[in-house]
Amino acid sequence: MTNTAGSPVKTVTVLGTGVLGSQIAYATAYAGFDVTAYDIDDAALEAAKSRFEGLVRTYEAEVEGAAGGKAAEGLERISYSSDLAQAVADADLVIEAVPESLEIKRETWQKVGAAAPERTIFATNSSTLLPSDFKDATGRPDRFLALHFANRVWVQNTAEVMGTADTDPSVYATVVQFARDIHMVPIEVKKEQPGYVLNSLLVPFLNAGAALWVNGVADVETIDKTWRIATGAPMGPFQIYDVIGMVTPYNIAKASDDPVQQKFAEILKRDFIDQGKLGVASGEGFYSYQG
C-alpha cells in the first residue's frame, strides 16, 4: 500500500464512474486512498459496482501482487454517492471524468466549486477540452488543472499533468506527487496543449496510417509491419485502432473536413461498426482475436 503520510491528499472523490472514471477511482483506492465514487443516479452507481468488480478480476490477473486479497481490499475503500455536494464535502482532491461536453463540465464544476471545502484541489480528466475552457466555472482556477489518464490505467499508466497559467505551482506539484502515489508515471506538461503529449503524437500517426490505407498506398498488414519492423514498436496504427475500438476514431474522422478522413469514417461505419467489428473488445476489427 502507498504511504500517503506526507501528502495533503488523503481523500479523493471521482466524478463519473464510466470507462475512465471507474479505472481512476479503483486505481486510487487500490493504492490506499479513501475514494468516493460519484455518479448521477443509483442505476449509474450499480453499473459502477460491476465495473469495479471487473477491475478487481483484471488486477488479480494482470497486476503483480494484486491477487490473494489486495485487489479486493481496494474495493472496500470506495464509497458511493449520487449527491454531488455530499460527495465532495470532505475531498482533498476531486477528479472529474464526466462526459466530454463543455456544458456538462461547466455545470459540474460550478456545483463542485460551490460545495467543496477551500482546501480541495480540482482536476479534470478531459481529453479534448483545455482546462482553460472551463477553469472559471470552478471558482478557483488557482487550484484547478488537468490530470489526464490513458485507458487501461493499470498498464498504460501515464498521467499527464497540465495546468493553466492560473494554476498554483504548489497545487501542480501536489498532483504530480499524487499521480506517483497511485502508481502512475506523471508526465509534466509545461504549457496548455490540445491533446497533451500523448495524443499530439498519436493522432497524427493514426491519421497518417488511415490515409495510406484509404488512398490505396499499402494494405493494413503492410503498414503495421513496416512500423513494427523499422522502429521496433510493438504495434502498428491498425493494431492500435483495434485496441482503442472503432467508435472514437469514427467520431473523430467524421468530424474532420478532410475528404480522406471522411472516407475513412464511411468505411469504419459500414465495414466495422455496423458489422459489430469493434476491435479487440469484440474479438474482431482490422485483425481477428478469436481464441
Q: Does 245 bind ligand NAD (CB under 6 A)?
A: no
Give the shortest CB-287-to-ligand NAD separation in angstroms.
20
Q: Report the site for ligand NAD in 170-209 (rule: CB under 6 A).
A: none
Q: Does 147 bind ligand NAD (CB under 6 A)?
A: no
Cα–Cα distance, 97 to 217 (Å, whole number): 39
Nearer to ligand NAD, 8 or 195 (CB): 195
Give the shortest CB-197-to-ligand NAD separation in angstroms.
13
Cα–Cα distance, 184 to 62 (Å, whole number): 16
Q: Does 149 bind ligand NAD (CB under 6 A)?
A: yes
- Contact residue for ligand NAD among 9, 12, 14, 15 (CB under 6 A): 15
Cα–Cα distance, 198 to 157 (Å, whole number): 12
Q: Which of these ranges, 91-99, 175-183, 201-209, 215-223, lies near ligand NAD under the rule CB under 6 A?
A: 91-99
Nearer to ligand NAD, 4 or 13 (CB): 13
Residue nearest ligand NAD, CB atom distance: 18
Q: Report the site for ligand NAD in 42-61 (rule: CB under 6 A).
A: 44
Give the shortest CB-55-to-ligand NAD separation in angstroms.
13
Q: Report the site for ligand NAD in 95-134 (rule: CB under 6 A).
A: 97-100, 104, 108, 125-127
Q: Does 17 bind ligand NAD (CB under 6 A)?
A: yes
Give the shortest CB-16-to-ligand NAD separation in angstroms.
3
Q: How far is CA 114 from CA 16, 120, 182, 189, in A?
A: 18, 11, 27, 28
- Contacting residues toward ligand NAD, per CB under 6 A: 15-21, 39-40, 44, 97-100, 104, 108, 125-127, 148-149, 151
